[in-house]
Amino acid sequence: MEKDRILALERAALDKWKEGDVTGFLELAADDISYFDPSLTSRLEGKEAMTKHLMAAHKTFTIPRYEIINPQVRIEGNMAVLHFNLQNYDDKDSPASRWNSSEIYVLRDGRWQLWHSHWSVVKKQK
């Protein structure tokens, strides 16, 4: 199912990410991707800018385990929206950072590419 394919793409990028490898997301990125994350003061525009931004963190971290919570996918023609919470775990398998994620994919040249990506940190849980 096409929805599973979108989720599998995201999961493959996260599987690299947990090893500190940012290239999975860069391979997904469309040339005209735009990107929000908590370390930025404005939306970042374009794959070149995203590459510079993510490569600064390449291989500087690892995430022992992550969990995708309640993913939802909606596909309309050549555009797909995926959103979920991401729970990361530390090396004692305790909950660490938790994220909100909204990912917009577009189908181009037979390949789903990430056109817009919004990551934000969830406030500390009590």
Q: By CB under 8 A, tell whether 81 contacts a copy of itself.
A: yes
Give dist(CA 71, CA 85) in Å, integer.
Answer: 7
Q: What is the 3-state secondary structure (H, E, C) of 15-59?
A: HHHCCCCCHHHHHHEEEEEEEECCCCCCCEECHHHHHHHHHCCCC
Q: How far is the CB of 19 from a copy of itself (least distance, A)?
A: 26
Q: Segment 11-30, which members bind a copy of itself (CB under 8 A)?
A: none
Give dist(CA 100, CA 111) in Å, integer.
Answer: 25
Of 78, 91, 108, 111, which lies in the binding site for a copy of itself, with binding defined by CB under 8 A?
78
Of 74, 90, 91, 111, which lies in the binding site for a copy of itself, with binding defined by CB under 8 A?
74
Q: By CB under 8 A, tell whether 115 contacts a copy of itself.
A: yes
Q: Which is nearer to a copy of itself, 40 or 55 (CB)?
A: 40
Q: By CB under 8 A, tell whether 123 contacts a copy of itself.
A: yes
Q: Which residue has the tokens 């199912």?
A: 1
Q: What is the 3-state secondary structure (H, E, C) of 81-115?
A: EEEEEEEEECCCCCEEEEEEEEEEEEEECCEEEEE
- Residues making contact with a copy of itself (CB under 8 A): 34, 36, 38-43, 69-70, 72, 74, 76-79, 81, 83-85, 98, 100, 102, 104, 106, 115-116, 118, 120-123, 125
